[in-house]
């Protein structure tokens, strides 16, 4: 290769390395874009009743902060009280695990025990795991401080993007050739619609699952029903994996009381998931972009592996954006017109021939139009 190509390749590798190093910041920026997109729907609704955008943004932010403050004011005290109860239940749970361990050692044949390595140390392993958590208190505290700082950055970025999103959108469009900016503007609009539909459907599902879980756990007499219901609602944000993970805490707490209660918890969560699959999802699917179950599962696993906690929660919106770009650019604009080298997308009138005949498509008119 020529020297210029080597320089370009080196610059590309360095860019990828830098982007990888700041991946957490990029995820925070993306999360801010998602929230700003959701709040922008409220701003647009207020603008339709002739409220200036500045006031509409202020009302939207105040509404968000009011909901968040009300949530913390009403829910957090109960959560703290139930967390204290949970802390007091940990020794009892470990004692119960020791009893089950001793019972298993008596019931299971010795030959089987020799093949199952580590069964004798199940309780000791749980105890050492708990000790490590308590011993790393200061590490957990520092991580909590980092989370708070990232949360503040997230909120500031969201407000800044919400106040005036046009310059950021136009700046992104300038990265593309002039003849393709109109098409890219349409693609961004489809991405926005996909995100809004997903947010609406997900929020509705989270509230319904959380409410049903709370009522069911309360009727069954399972301890810490509020915390378990909140966990069930929040983990609904993570498809496929989240509902399974939300079953573990109430199941363990039910086992402390009676085996039948654990079976009842399993039946309750199975019933809730059936209600979600057969009733809730079909009702809200019209406003969402459908994703194959295998794609959602792989997306959660892959993004969680590469990007950690943020990747776990942002996996689905990231996949929605990627799916929209692939469908619109790769499939429609490239593959569907593979035999038409002079045409990029006839349906959207962005042919290269049209560009030469219509100079207004090559200037910044679409940028100025926003």
pLDDT, tens digit, for every residue of 120-140? 444 445 455 555 555 554 555
In a domain, 344, yes or no: no
Q: Write the CB contacts of 313 (distance below 8 Å, at least 6 apart in sequence).
A: 237, 238
pTM: 0.68
Would you state the pLDDT for residue 112? 55
User: What separation in angstroms does the CA of 27 have from each of 134, 187, 236, 308?
Assistant: 30, 21, 20, 10
Would you state the pLDDT for residue 370? 47
Count up the domains in the chain and report the number: 1
Helix locations, the chain, DSSP H: 3-21, 23-48, 53-107, 110-115, 122-135, 137-163, 166-173, 181-220, 225-235, 241-257, 259-275, 281-284, 293-325, 352-357, 365-369
Which of 140-154, 185-199, 332-346 shows the highest mean pLDDT? Answer: 185-199
Instruction: Using the predicted structure, report yes or no on whether residue 184 has a pLDDT greater than 90.
Output: yes
Average pLDDT estimate for 36-49: 89
Lowest mean pLDDT among 210-219, 313-322, 328-337, 359-368: 359-368
Domain hosting 74: range is 1-164
Query: Which tokens hold the place of 366?
Result: 């679409």
Would you state the pLDDT for residue 173? 92
Q: Write the CB contacts of 49 (distance below 8 Å, at least 6 apart in sequence).
A: none
Query: Which tokens hold the place of 214?
Result: 């709370």
Which of 104-118, 178-192, 338-352 shows the highest mean pLDDT? Answer: 178-192
Average pLDDT estimate for 74-85: 67
CA-based nearest residue to 63, from 49, 33, 43: 43
Instruction: Using the predicted structure, report yes or no on whether residue 262 has a pLDDT greater than 70.
Output: yes
Looking at the chain, the whole-number percentage of residues with pLDDT higher than 90 is 10
What is the C-alpha to C-alpha distance for residues 167 and 164, in angstroms, rounded to an integer?
7
Q: Answer for the pair 42, 162: CB distance below 8 angstroms, yes or no.
A: no
Per the prediction, the chain carries an average pLDDT of 76
In a domain, 156, yes or no: yes
In a domain, 249, yes or no: no
Q: Answer for the pair 202, 194: CB distance below 8 angstroms, yes or no.
A: no
In a domain, 152, yes or no: yes
Other beta carbons less than 10 A from residue 195's beta carbon:
22
CA-based nearest residue to 224, from 252, 203, 259, 266: 252
In a domain, 188, yes or no: no
Instruction: Using the predicted structure, report yes or no on whether residue 346 has a pLDDT greater than 60.
Output: no
Which has more confidence, 335 or 356? 335
B/e letters for 302-329, b = 16+ CB within 10 Å, e = fewer, are ebbeebeebbbbbbbbbbbbebbbeebb
In a domain, 123, yes or no: yes
Query: Which tokens hold the place of 299?
Result: 């997306």
What is the C-alpha to C-alpha distance for residues 208 and 206, in angstroms, rounded to an integer?
6
pLDDT bucket at 246, cuts 50 / 70 / 90: confident
In a domain, 179, yes or no: no
In a domain, 111, yes or no: yes
What is the C-alpha to C-alpha distance for residues 219 and 247, in angstroms, rounded to an integer?
16
Query: Which tokens hold the place of 81?
Result: 């009280």
């Amino acid at each position: 290769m020529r020297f210029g190509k080597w320089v370009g390749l080196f610059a590309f590798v360095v860019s990828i390395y830098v982007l990888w190093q700041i991946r957490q910041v990029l995820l925070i920026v993306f999360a801010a874009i998602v929230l700003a997109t959701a709040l922008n729907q409220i701003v647009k609704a207020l603008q339709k009743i002739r409220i200036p955008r500045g006031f509409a943004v202020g009302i939207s932010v105040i509404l968000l902060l009011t909901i968040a403050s009300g949530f913390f004011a009403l829910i957090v005290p109960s959560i703290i009280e139930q967390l204290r109860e949970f802390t007091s239940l940990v020794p009892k749970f470990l004692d119960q695990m020791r009893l089950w361990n001793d019972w298993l050692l008596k019931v299971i044949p010795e030959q089987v025990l020799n093949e199952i390595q580590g069964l004798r140390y199940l309780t000791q392993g749980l105890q050492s795991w708990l000790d490590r958590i308590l011993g790393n208190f200061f590490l957990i505290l520092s991580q909590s401080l980092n989370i708070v700082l990232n949360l503040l950055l997230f909120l500031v970025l969201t407000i800044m993007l919400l106040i005036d999103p046009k310059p950021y959108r136009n700046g992104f469009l300038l990265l593309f050739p002039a003849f393709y900016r109109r098409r890219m503007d349409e693609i961004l609009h489809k991405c926005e619609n996909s995100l809004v539909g997903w947010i609406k459907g997900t929020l509705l599902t989270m509230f319904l699952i959380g409410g049903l879980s709370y009522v069911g756990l309360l009727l069954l007499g399972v301890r810490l029903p509020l915390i378990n219901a909140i966990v069930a609602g929040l983990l609904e944000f993570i498809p496929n994996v989240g509902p399974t993970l939300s079953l573990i805490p109430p199941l363990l707490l039910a086992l402390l009381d009676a085996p039948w209660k654990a079976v009842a918890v399993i039946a309750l969560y199975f019933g809730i998931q059936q209600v979600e699959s057969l009733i809730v999802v079909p009702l809200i699917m019209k406003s969402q972009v459908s994703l194959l179950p295998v794609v959602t599962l792989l997306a959660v696993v892959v993004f969680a592996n590469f990007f950690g906690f943020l990747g776990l929660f942002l996996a689905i919106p990231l996949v929605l954006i990627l799916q929209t770009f692939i469908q619109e650019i790769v499939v429609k604009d490239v593959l569907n017109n593979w035999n038409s080298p002079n045409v990029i997308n006839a349906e959207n009138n962005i042919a290269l021939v049209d560009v030469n005949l219509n100079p207004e498509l090559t200037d910044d008119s679409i940028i100025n139009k926003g």
